[in-house]
Amino acid sequence: MKKIISVVGARPNFIKIAPLHKALVKYNNEIQHIICHTGQHFDEKMSDVFFNELEMPRPKYNLGISGGTHAHQTANIMLEFEKILIDENPDLVVVPGDVNSTLACSLVASKIGIKLAHIESGLRSFNREMPEEINRIVTDVIADYLFVSEPSGLENLKKEGISKDKVFYVGNIMIDSLVGFNDKINSENTHSKLGVDKKQYVLVTFHRPSNVDNHDKLAELLKLLTRLSKKQKIVFPVHPRTKHNIEKFDLEKLLAPGIVQTEPLGYLSFLSLINNAKLVLTDSGGIQEECTFMHVPCITAREDTERPVTTELGTNYLGGANFQEMDILIDEVIRNPKKGAIPKYWDGKTAERIAEIIVKSCNEDNNDKGRD
């Protein structure tokens, strides 16, 4: 029996590995699937609740590594994950996305000589000031299986000289979770619990260091939300990093009292908020994709996006990072939002395609060993 270890570390990872686990269950006579949680997101609302809502098995391993600098976190994950790989000796390691856990576990697997699969390969913002961009590039260089979610990924990997034999255009695995839990998402009605009306509020999420770690930048963001709250109802689930910095910089007074602030929400509750929002204002990557699938207008407060299909085909707009000048775009999008379309292979079957490729490759490896 072949053994696969999938790595999760941050909220988006869980959303990507949950459907893969379900798809691999169909092959439980051939595949043993183990989940390793690095602990990168240590807050219960940022991790544990996702295992419950996404109906994932508890991870066999939890490394419990969180906080610290990028180097500190990456190095500690590498040290602990190496022990697991030596003990388990898996045939394949699967890493999703672009967080530090992705990079750390990829490096360890590659150096030990264990095959590596990367889910969401080829995404590029072309902004190397983003730590995630470095993680993506390095992981793609050493991966044996590169699973691509959108056309730009294929183009980027080709330009970077990655062998096409390693590249598989399978679609967006995040959408699998959205499709699979669609009924539950629709029944949540989180907006009603927060006292706001359907399609009558703007949902706001911010967490990137470039937006929330600088006093002046964060202050301008909060001023923008206060200006916007005079025209639109605002719902603001506050990321722990953002909350910490608001308190650290003593900026609470900049937020209008009418803004509905919440703690981080579970997967179903948050997707329900997206689905019923008039507009989403964010600096997240995955939310751009979820908005595109649900046909909800989205403004991404960044100068670039690693998911260009969401702006070219979907409902996403790149709003830049100047919060003093964003009001005009917000007003325009609310007045005349684009309808958008759902990209190819965003159909809820990506995990099935990935599982089929993995199992087929494992069987081919067995045949090759038999011939040797």
Q: Residue 266 to residues 96, 98, 158, 245: CA-CA distances in angstroms?
A: 20, 21, 37, 22
Helix, strand or coil, per DSSP, at residue 356 = helix
The answer to whether 21 is a known catalytic residue is no
CB-CB contact of 107 with 82 (8 Å): no
Task: Say which amino acid occupies 30.
Answer: E
Active-site entry in 207, 215, 239, 244: 207
Cα angle 80, 83, 86 (rounded to 5 degrees) comes to 150
**Continuous H helices in the chain:** 11-25, 48-53, 70-88, 100-112, 131-142, 151-159, 173-180, 182-188, 190-193, 209-212, 215-229, 240-248, 267-275, 286-294, 309-312, 327-335, 350-371
CB atoms within 10 A of CB 131: 16
Beta bridge partners of residue 36, listed in sequence order: 7, 61
Residue 111 CA to residue 343 CA, distance in Å, equals 36
> Residue 172 in contact with residue 149, Cβ under 8 Å?
yes
- Angle (nearest 5°) at CA 134 between 309 and 281: 45
**Rounded to whole angstroms, how far apart are CA atoms 174 and 346?**
9
Annotate 198-214 with DSSP letters as a single string.
Answer: TTSEEEEE---HHHHSS
* Alpha-carbon distance values, 345 to 14, 122, 174, 306, 342 (Å): 20, 16, 11, 18, 9
Rounded to whole angstroms, what are the CA distances from 53 to 48, 66, 73, 177, 286? 9, 22, 27, 10, 18
The Cα 232–Cα 6 span in angstroms is 42
Q: Catalytic residue positions? A: 207
